Amino acid sequence: MPWTGPDGIRVVADADLDERGRLVAELTAAGFPVPGPAEDAELIVAAYRAWGVECPTRLHGDFAFALWDDRRRRLLLVRDRFGTRPLYYARPPGSFVFANSLDVLRIHRGVSDELDEGAVGDFLRIGYNSDPTGSIFSSVRCVPAAHSLLLTNGEPVVARYWDLPTDGTVKYTHVEDYADRFAEVLRHAVADRLRGTNAAVILLSGGRDSTAVAAMARAVAGPDGTPRLHAVTAVFDYALRDEERTYAGLAGGALGIPVDFLPQDEYGWYESWERDDLWRPEPPESPELAGEAELHARAAAHARIGVTGEGGDAALRESESHLAHLIRSGRWRRAAAESWRYVGVHHRLPRPGFRRLRLRRAGLVSPYSAVPPWLRPDFIARAKLRDRWAALEAEDARQWMRHPTRPEAFTKLRATFWARCFEEEHATATGQLLTLRHPFFDERVIAFLLALPTEQWLNDKGIVVAAMRRHLPARVVYRDKTPLAGDSYEVAFGVDGRRPDRAAFEPRALQFVEPDALFDSVPGIDEDERWDWVRAYSFSRWLGRLGVGRRFSQLDQPVLTQFEP
């Protein structure tokens, strides 16, 4: 949405601002009132007039924007706190170009397709680029989540304007008080994300997070039933044993939300990857793009705004060894009391966590898999990947120490992984006219959850269980988290038995991967190693499409604007 003011301030934004009432009140108090209903771009310009380059600290919600101040001759790029909207830039000779679409940015003749080998190594090992400032292309950079970029003369200055809180505390007397406050905060987050829309679609699983979002969406709907709610759920009906249809159906029925079930059984791995709509601007980890694309298309057919339960697993990450800490320190009564409350919420005994505590203290717990043996040694040396990964692990350990009570949740929420997920799901990457919003990535929700005490009953999403007992069927609230039952690897190749071999790899991929070593590991490998294999082949298939990329039709040819400082 472009906006130009009379004072030479121009902004182009991909934005859905939340807490607009608070922002308008703060602007009025600062002497910059906004008359009547205002567009998001207008509010961004008003915030810049009031607080200058510090304005991002006053903005909340999902946004990426570029603001040009003609009088001061400066360009400001800003990405929201969690990176829910992408923002890329490049510096061809004599220019500075930016876009929220990687495909569009690469149209510029000065932006090369040279790969960033560090990003390639990250993808092949862990499935995403760990550098929040980079992309898969060495010439294209990202504005990281919660950062701004200021360009006046010379080099752009990138600075963090917000970080996850580490000092909040919440303490209530009764379990119900925690639950009521959580439901209230989540309800406000959902309401903001549904503001102004007549219809919304929920990407619903049968789990606790997305069903909680669905319950709050129903709670904020007006007396006339707006916004109209629909849900879509991916299920397996026969290839794998899957319970999502049962639980999503129960939740939808209780809330009066129709659910559109999309069976995934018919979509094979790497099916139809040659289709234009299955191109992705960066290497996709999943081999099931056809099924995922159909899910997004089905959702977009119902509404242009979608809400998800993404982030719940990270934000509600339990303290993995809290009970063990209590027992080892001699606080038996507190351990017993918390365990008793845990049984009251979860209807079973908690996990003690002694093994987790021992591994953590011994330095044996890493969030990353081992370096795959099929990565070429000369590539690892050339890209200095071991140094890169050592620095990554050290940074994870440093972030772990920052939060006094919930280091697991803090570290997971701060990971670059989430911004990469949002980039992959954005409309500029999928090609679908669907804007996804994520209530668990609301600053108010995150601040509340990170301020919760470490009481054992909160483990296993106890706060969600307690809050949703009045909104959802008991079978949904108390269900165990169950993975798909069966061997997805065998299902994927069970139809014709053909598995890729060395000849199937793109020649360009052979500078990174040694297929002989890769396929030697296939017999008897475990699930993690199988996904290592999938990443390698997905990367090779993506390389094969790189020269073609996304084909823009005559009707949707993008206009690329460049800034010449």
pLDDT tens readout for residues 358-391:
655 555 456 787 898 899 999 999 999 999 999 9
Report which residue type is found at 293. Answer: A
Express as a percent the part of the chain with pLDDT over 90: 61
Amino acid 225: pLDDT: 84
Amino acid 486: pLDDT: 52
Confidence of residue 557 (pLDDT cuts 50, 70, 90): very low
SS3 assignment, position 511: helix
The CA distance from 259 to 234, in Å, is 10
Is the omega angle on the peptide bond into residue 227 within 30 degrees of 0, that is, cis?
A: yes
Amino acid 337: pLDDT: 81
> Residue 146: which region, alpha, beta or left (left: phi > 0; alpha: psi -120 to 50)?
left
Q: Rg of the Cα trace of the chain?
A: 24
Q: Does the pLDDT value for residue 93 go beyond 80?
A: yes
Confidence of residue 84 (pLDDT cuts 50, 70, 90): very high
Per-residue CA distances from 65 to 16, 69, 198, 305 (Å): 11, 13, 25, 19
Helix axes of 527-546 and 117-126: crossing angle, nearest 10 degrees: 140
The CA distance from 425 to 280, in Å, is 10
Report which residue type is found at 96. Answer: F
The CA distance from 178 to 187, in Å, is 14
Per the model's pLDDT, the better-predicted residue between 408 and 256 turns out to be 256
Q: How many CB atoms lie within 10 A of CB 524?
A: 6
Q: Is the dihedral of CA 543, 545, 550, 552 positive or negative?
A: positive
SS3 assignment, position 321: coil
Amino acid 527: pLDDT: 54
Contact present, 468 and 212 (Cβ < 8 Å)? yes
How confident is the model over 421-431, as pLDDT tens digits?
Answer: 999 999 999 99
Per the model's pLDDT, the better-predicted residue between 555 and 87 turns out to be 87
CATH architecture label of 2-162: 4-Layer Sandwich (3.60)
Q: Does the pLDDT value for residue 323 go beyond 80?
A: no
Amino acid 368: pLDDT: 80
DSSP 8-state assignment for residue 25: H
Q: Does the pLDDT value for residue 515 go beyond 70?
A: yes
For the range 491-494, what are the long-range contacts, defined as Cβ-Cβ under 8 Å and sequence gap of 24 or more? 491/239, 491/240, 492/268, 492/269, 492/287, 493/269
**Averaged pLDDT for residues 90-105:** 93
What length is written for the chain?
565
pTM recorded for the entire structure: 0.91
**Averaged pLDDT for residues 186-207:** 96
SS3 assignment, position 79: strand
Domain boundaries, the chain: 2-162
Confidence of residue 320 (pLDDT cuts 50, 70, 90): low
Amino acid 555: pLDDT: 38
The CA distance from 9 to 499, in Å, is 56
Amino acid 134: pLDDT: 97
Phi, psi of 66 (to 5 degrees): -125, 130
Q: Does the pLDDT value for residue 487 go beyond 90?
A: no
Contact present, 71 and 7 (Cβ < 8 Å)? yes
**Which residues, at least 6 apart from 69, have a Cβ–Cβ distance to it below 8 Å?**
8, 9, 48, 75, 76
The CA distance from 492 to 265, in Å, is 9
Contact present, 230 and 201 (Cβ < 8 Å)? yes
The CA distance from 450 to 259, in Å, is 32
Closest by CA to 167, choosing from 8, 402, 5, is 402
Contact present, 210 and 309 (Cβ < 8 Å)? yes
Report which residue type is found at 346. Answer: H
Express as a percent the part of the chain with pLDDT over 70: 87
Amino acid 35: pLDDT: 82
The CA-based angle 108-109-110, given to 5 degrees, is 90
Amino acid 286: pLDDT: 85
The CA distance from 266 to 264, in Å, is 6
For the range 362-369, what are the long-range contacts, defined as Cβ-Cβ under 8 Å and sequence gap of 24 or more? 366/393, 367/396, 368/125, 368/126, 368/392, 368/393, 369/125, 369/126, 369/528, 369/532
* Cα 222 off chain centre by: 29
How confident is the model over 33-70, as pLDDT tens digits?
Answer: 998 788 999 999 999 999 999 999 999 999 999 999 99
